[in-house]
């Protein structure tokens, strides 16, 4: 009776452990699933990085405008001092002081946005490295099994280049807006058929 109970418990434990090791069953993430999840994360991080980069460019442009305004206000202050008019000097000083404060605030904002964009770029690079590691582990597993599903190192490099091209094409689609592929290709003076063959 006791041995039968032990056998039953062992059978139940085995059944519970099977999903954790069986391929294609929830509980064990396959290499394809890991790559897909990492690819989606890379795409999301890439979009965030592009947004941060655009914001950094905008902040830098605002900083340049504020610097130019501060230079103009300083020139007005020097002209006011030469005139000897106290009221004009006081107004010019207040204006120049405000311009300097605006420039300092813009400088801090531009530095923060630039750092955020750089962090986003580093995050994207880590995502790419993580995907390369996943492909490399899958390739080594293939070697042990005698399977060539994930190819060799050259395939890894080709896949990495394909990933980068996919990202570039995605960014290009965002840049050209609602234009169709053919319209965009003709506007760029490049044949659509040629671009398609290159892809």
Q: Write out the chain's pLDDT in tens, 199 residues.
A: 555 555 656 565 555 554 444 444 445 568 788 888 999 999 999 999 999 999 999 999 999 999 999 999 999 999 999 998 999 999 999 999 999 999 999 999 999 999 999 999 999 999 999 989 988 888 877 666 655 554 555 555 566 667 667 766 765 665 555 445 555 455 444 454 554 444 4
pLDDT at res. 1: 54
CB of 41 closer than 8 Å to CB of 127: yes
Number of structural domains the chain divides into: 1
Rounded alpha-carbon distances, angstroms, from residue 184 to 1, 102, 154, 187: 78, 41, 33, 5
Residues 6+ apart with CB under 8 A from 171: 50
Q: Give, for 16, the enclosing helix (H) or strand (E).
A: helix 2-21
| Domain, as residue range, for 62 | 33-173
- Three-class secondary structure of residue 33 per DSSP: helix
pTM for the structure as a whole: 0.55
Using CB atoms within 10 A of its CB, is residue 63 exposed (0-12), middle (13-18) or buried (19+)?
A: buried
**Does any domain span residue 52?**
yes
pLDDT at res. 178: 47
**Does any domain span residue 94?**
yes
What does DSSP assign to residue 114? Answer: H
**Does any domain span residue 104?**
yes
Could you report the per-residue pLDDT of 162-185, keeping only the tens digit for each?
A: 766 776 676 566 555 544 555 545
Using CB atoms within 10 A of its CB, is residue 10 exposed (0-12), middle (13-18) or buried (19+)?
A: exposed
Q: What are phi and psi of 58, to 5 degrees?
A: -65, -45
CB of 135 closer than 8 Å to CB of 149: no
CB of 112 closer than 8 Å to CB of 56: no
> Quick one: residue 29, left, alpha or beta (phi over 0 = left, psi -120 to 50 = alpha)?
beta
pLDDT at res. 137: 85
Using CB atoms within 10 A of its CB, is residue 187 exposed (0-12), middle (13-18) or buried (19+)?
A: exposed
């Amino acid at each position: 009776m006791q041995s039968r109970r032990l056998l039953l418990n062992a059978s139940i434990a085995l059944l519970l452990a099977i999903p954790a090791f069986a391929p294609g069953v929830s509980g064990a993430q396959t290499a394809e699933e890991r790559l897909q999840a990492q690819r989606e994360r890379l795409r999301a991080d890439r979009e965030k990085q592009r947004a941060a980069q655009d914001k950094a460019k905008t902040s830098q442009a605002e900083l340049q405008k504020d610097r130019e305004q501060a230079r103009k206000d300083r020139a007005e202050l020097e002209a006011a001092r030469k005139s000897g008019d106290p009221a004009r000097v006081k107004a010019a000083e207040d204006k120049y002081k405000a311009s300097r404060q605006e420039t300092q605030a813009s400088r801090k904002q531009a530095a923060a946005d630039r750092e955020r964009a750089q962090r986003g770029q580093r995050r994207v690079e880590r995502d790419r490295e993580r995907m390369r590691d996943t492909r490399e582990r899958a390739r080594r597993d293939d070697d042990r099994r005698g399977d060539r599903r994930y190819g060799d190192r050259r395939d890894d490099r080709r896949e990495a280049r394909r990933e980068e091209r996919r990202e570039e094409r995605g960014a290009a689609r965002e840049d050209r807006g609602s234009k169709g592929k053919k319209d965009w290709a003709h506007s760029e003076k490049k044949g659509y058929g040629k671009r398609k063959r290159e892809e």
